[in-house]
Structure 1
Amino acid sequence: MNTSIPEVPRYIPAPPTREPLEFADLVVIDLQQCATQEGRDKLARQVRDAMSSVGFFYVVNHGYTQAQTDRIFDLADIAFTNVDSEEKKLYAGRMKETGSHQGYKLRNYWHIDSGVHDQVEAYNINRDVRMKQHPVALRPFLGELEAFGRHNHFNVLHPLLRLLALGLELPEETFVNLHGYNSISETFIRFMKYYPRSEEEETKTRNVWMKGHTDFGSVTLLYSQPVSALQILSPDGKWRWIRHIDNALVINTGDAMEFLSGGFYKPTIHRVVQPPKDQSNWTRLSVFYFSLPDDNTKLVPFADSPVLRKYGIQRRCEDVDAPTMEEWRKGRTSAFGQSVLRQGNETGTQEEVIQGLVVKHYN
């Protein structure tokens, strides 16, 4: 039996942009400081301030070297360059039918605007990489991908969940206990590749590649890459770009954390737009770890938080009507890019209803 690992082509990323973009000013969290209680208390204050202001922050010293991160991008690119279109179809996800992201999201699946569909491919892998079969080209690397998922889960996600709990003056393990590695959950790795579009499509969509939205899980980990395209809606109503930092992670929270924190940690609206001119002909490869609470988690606030008792709870619905994580992620996953959106009450918004609750998209 041949157990050798095939050689993997190096993925060559684009050079960072030189365009004078207006970047968001984000705090940088040094995870090494989590080693002490004093350090965790300090970081918890920083994270709480970041989440109550801009809603995104960077993480450095997360345990992966630049070489390890480069290796993951090399493996991520295999899913797109070493798998042909027919094999991709064999492993296509059935998001609309199942409410699960596992497998490929093929190009042209999402409707963006004015009849234009996306030019984005994604491959989604449950953190339990053995749960489903994978394309032939990826199979020799499942051990590495499993190790990558474990690293994100235990060495990045769990420390961040502890900081978020401390920010609400809750026991440190409060949110960790809802994110079991072996629980029934859809926490997953995503590889995503954006391809350049035609001038006609850019005009019809006003250069928007993915409408402004919130993530539906608890915490999103994005490995920073140099093609500028991600923007966040700042509190002053301006869209600002996310700056690339070598070997940093870009972190934001989603709907599930908003539910659990009684509205204290609000998910920030973000979108993807056409890259600046000096990067417009490059593909954009992204690596994510999307975390979701266990499927059976009832998405109700931790009302015993001293912080929530002080500042009040902003519920999106009564606790008795709150969805489980399974219900919310299935509703959001099935509808995204597929449902017909209605005009929203706020200028520049469109809406859909998921589990009886209004979900907004920003165009």
Structure 2
Amino acid sequence: MANDHSGGTLEVPVIDIAGWTRGGRVDRAAVAAAIDEAARTVGFMQVIGHGIPEAAATGLADAIDAFFALPMADKLALRAPSPEINRGYSPPRAEKVSLSLGVGTPEDLFEAFNVGAEAADYPDERLPAAHYPDNIWPDLPDFRAAVDTWRGYAGALTRQLTDVFAHALGLPEGHFRRFTGHSVDLLRMNHYMLPDAETTVDRDQMGMGAHTDFGIVTALWADPVPGLQILDGDGRWRDVLPMRGALLVNLGDALARWTNDQWMSTMHRVLPPTDEQGRLVRRRSAAYFHDGDYDAVISPLPGCVPEGAAPLYAPTTIGEHIAAKLAGSRGLTPNPSAEREAARLTRGEQ
């Protein structure tokens, strides 16, 4: 997989969603139409007017800095007991995210810390610990408070976006809420740096390998540092630079499968962020994955399959789909059930 930039920088649509909450019928329709256009053509968008205070983003960035500055031994003590438990610390070169598509690459350079929905968050429901494991928290002042503050804002935003999605797709108001009552949401905080003894990046090494996100929608906070690329419709990798104050929003596999690929779950990757001498420079990001209920069934929405045609994907559940993806990225067992997504990646490498 060549680390090429031949496609140049992609202008990702910038969408002000303030009109959805503060505007009237015309404003809401305009927001939904803009999101529909981005979902059908790019699958990525830069969202402004999201209402998340700058202080929450600053607190999150400070928490990320504090955690990843810990000695490696302290971070390793916060690893989950097994790879299928997507919680706690993940060290550099522990994952191959492209294996979530069944595509093998060198180990990814990023390190990460994950927190997500727990069974205790839904005390009135008997949810399986395998899908709602307990979080693992570092003993750092203010870390949990800052992370939980961001999770609260990002969770509210992504749920609001699913209401916009329903409107854009001509579905009843709040249609997707029926699939997210106990959503297996996850916040993954990422840090891209080589260990101290290493200064340059091997050819074909990825900061994070090519993949599509697993669930419904992702809201991404990231440093305005190069590295993120998406695969465009012509099979070219295009750079995407986060805009200050905006959140990058992209659609996941569940929404693509619900719409029978009318909306796109965009292939993306992160190149090792480097300077002109090829030395890695620091890049931070935090991806909030609004994934849906583990037992929610993904099958085509009304009107999304042409008459007489077969659906592009077999029905599955959110839990089954995520488990297969994680078995690849974290368990290092190639996922055999992502043929369509893998084919898009293969075409982009030709």
> Shorter-chain TM-score: what band?
0.7 to 0.9
Alpha-carbon distance in structure 2 between the residues aligned to 1:265 and 1:117? 30
Q: Secondary structure at the match of 1:271?
A: strand
Alpha-carbon distance in structure 1 between the residues aligned to 2:233 and 2:105? 30
Contact 2:297–2:316 (CA under 8 A) maintained in structure 1: yes
- Which of 135, 148, 151 matches 1:149? 151
Alpha-carbon distance in structure 2 between the residues aligned to 1:337 and 1:90? 17
Match of 2:262 in 1: 264
TM-score, scaled to structure 2: 0.81
AA matched with 1:298: V
Q: Secondary structure at the match of 1:208?
A: coil
Residues 177-232 of structure 1, C-alpha deviations (whole Å, 9 max, x = no match): 3222xx1x4211111101148577422x1x53333211111101111321110001
CA pair 127-38 structure 1, distance change in 2 beyond 3 A: farther
- The higher relative CO (CA closer than 8 Å, separation ≥ 6) is in 2
| Structure 1: segments with no counterpart, 5+ residues | 1-18, 342-351
Contact 1:105–1:123 (CA under 8 A) maintained in structure 2: yes
Contact 2:222–2:284 (CA under 8 A) maintained in structure 1: no
Match of 1:87 in 2: 74
Deviation at 1:277? 2.6
- Which of 300, 305, 313 matches 1:317? 313
Deviation at 1:104? 1.2
Contact 2:260–2:305 (CA under 8 A) maintained in structure 1: no
- Which of 114, 137, 140 matches 1:137? 140
Aligned-residue sequence identity (percent) comes to 24
Match of 1:30 in 2: 16
Match of 1:105 in 2: 90
CA pair 251-286 structure 1, distance change in 2 beyond 3 A: same
Contact 2:298–2:318 (CA under 8 A) maintained in structure 1: yes
Residues 17-36 of structure 1, C-alpha deviations (whole Å, 9 max, x = no match): xx999211111111211123
Query: Which of 207-216 and 239-248 deviates more?
Result: 207-216
Contact 1:94–1:101 (CA under 8 A) maintained in structure 2: no
CA pair 115-313 structure 1, distance change in 2 beyond 3 A: closer
Alpha-carbon distance in structure 2 between the residues aligned to 1:152 and 1:115? 31
Which structure carries more strand by proportion? 1
Q: Secondary structure at the match of 1:41?
A: helix
CA pair 52-39 structure 1, distance change in 2 beyond 3 A: same
Aligned length: 318
Match of 1:167 in 2: 168
TM-score, scaled to structure 1: 0.78
- Which of 47, 57, 68 matches 1:69? 57
Q: Secondary structure at the match of 1:189?
A: strand
Match of 1:288 in 2: 287
Alpha-carbon distance in structure 1 between the residues aligned to 2:308 and 2:48? 32
Alpha-carbon distance in structure 1 between the residues aligned to 2:60 and 2:115? 13
Query: Which of 194-203 and 283-292 deviates more?
Result: 194-203
Contact 2:87–2:136 (CA under 8 A) maintained in structure 1: no
CA pair 312-193 structure 1, distance change in 2 beyond 3 A: farther
AA matched with 2:316: P
Deviation at 1:276? 4.9
What is the CA RMSD across the aligned residues, in angstroms?
3.0
Deviation at 1:41? 1.0
CA pair 315-91 structure 1, distance change in 2 beyond 3 A: farther
Contact 2:305–2:311 (CA under 8 A) maintained in structure 1: no
CA pair 127-151 structure 1, distance change in 2 beyond 3 A: farther
